Amino acid sequence: MSERKPRRASRAARPASKPREAQSAESRLAETATVAWMLATLVTLCAELAVAAIALWRWLQPDSPLPPLFAGVFWLCAGVVGAVSLVLAAVVLRSRRVPPPRGVTVVALVAGALPLMLAACGWFG
């Protein structure tokens, strides 16, 4: 006859394993500020791309019924959220132990400052 294999211990008899917690060198505030900063940067970039697309469409189709108000609304969105992005960038750069990559930081700062610089120059699209 074949020998029986030893039975494994039931789940109740096994020692409880502790769930692994994610190891992060950053505080929760730094992580939250970083996520908010990247979301604000993404919204700013999308609004700027929408303004560029509307401007290109109006240049290619001068008789287009597309009202110029759309570009103004997107510029306002880009300006407000861009300013929020710049403030969040300052918070992130001060609160993180490990700074974000330089390329990400430069793109985010340029994207946040672009609508404000263009508004200061008097170009509103």
| Residue 12 lies inside a defined structural domain of this protein | no
Q: What is the pTM of this model?
A: 0.75
Q: Residue 14 domain-assigned?
A: no
Mind listing the pLDDT tens digit for each residue in 38-48? 999 999 999 99
Residue 53 falls within a domain, yes or no? Answer: yes
- Average pLDDT along the chain: 85
- On whether residue 1 sits in a domain, the answer given is no
Does the pLDDT at position 112 exceed 80? yes
CA 73 to chain centre: 20
Range of the domain at 95: 28-121
R_g (Cα) of the chain, nearest Å: 26
Whether residue 67 is predicted with pLDDT greater than 90 in this model: the reply is no
Q: How many domains does the chain have?
A: 1
Whether 91 is covered by a domain: the verdict is yes
Is 82 inside any structural domain? Answer: yes
In SS3 terms, 79-124 reads as HHHHHHHHHHHHHHHHHCCCCCCHHHHHHHHHHHHHHHHHHHHCCC
